[in-house]
Amino acid sequence: MGLGTVVLVHLLVLFGLVRMKLIALPAPLAVLSVSLLPPAPEIKPQPEIVPPRPKPVERRPTPTPQPIQLAAPAEAPAPAPPPIAVAPAPTVAAPPAPVAPPPAAVPTPPRFDTDYLYNPKPDYPAISRRLGEQGRVLLRVHVASDGTAADVQVQVSSGSPRLDQSALDAVRRWRFVPAKLGKEPIAAWVQVPIAFTLKD
């Protein structure tokens, strides 16, 4: 081998090392799937009900009695009917205005990256180390409202079944801060990236 070949090989190795350092892993993503409630139907204000005004009672003057002649019995005039009093219509109170619902609470996603949870890194399988296997697994985790991993799925494989399985086994034992809707913990999905690099 000549000096030119040795220099060329060294330049290719140096180029490869520089290129590997330029590739950065993307930052971990936390994705929350939330189903929103449909908007409340618009409530139109009801027109105010005005009770009808009672009609004033008409008072008819009573006729003055005519003197009766004794000579001939005559039929007595029919007495005037007593005035009829109209009872006022009952007043109906307007129904109370509907109470506006409180503003919808904004959901917060579940978390797995807080220090107090003590979630250990997945084991790096020994055979994968010997074979030089590296990769990044993206797991999709359904976090229950109590903070446990109810379901763990491989969303994007690392390319190595051993690395994928190690990540699945570790994350199934993890504890999470559950998602919250207001102050109420709720179940939700989150993405958990796990990187396996031989530098670890």
Which domain CATH number covers 142? 3.30.2420.10
Tell me whether residue 153 is in a domain: yes
Residue 170 · residue 122 · CB < 8 Å: yes
Q: What is the pLDDT of residue 183?
A: 86
Q: What is the pLDDT of residue 23?
A: 46
Q: What do you get for the CA distance between the two ends of the chain, in Å?
A: 37
Q: What is the pLDDT of residue 11?
A: 75
Tell me whether residue 12 is in a domain: no
The C-alpha atoms of residue 5 and residue 1 are separated, in whole angstroms, by 6
Tell me whether residue 4 is in a domain: no
Number of domains in the chain: 1
pLDDT along the chain (200 residues), means of 10: 78 70 50 52 63 66 54 52 57 60 66 70 94 95 92 95 96 90 89 88
The C-alpha atoms of residue 193 and residue 154 are separated, in whole angstroms, by 10
Tell me whether residue 122 is in a domain: yes
Tell me whether residue 33 is in a domain: no
pTM above 0.85, yes or no: no
- Report the run of H or E that residue 184 belongs to, with start and end: strand 184-186
Tell me whether residue 66 is in a domain: no
- Report the run of H or E that residue 194 belongs to, with start and end: strand 188-196
Q: What is the pLDDT of residue 118?
A: 79
User: Of 175, 35, 189, 26, which Cα lies nearest the Cα of 109?
Assistant: 189
| Domain, as residue range, for 188 | 105-200
Q: What is the pLDDT of residue 24?
A: 44
Tell me whether residue 52 is in a domain: no
Tell me whether residue 82 is in a domain: no
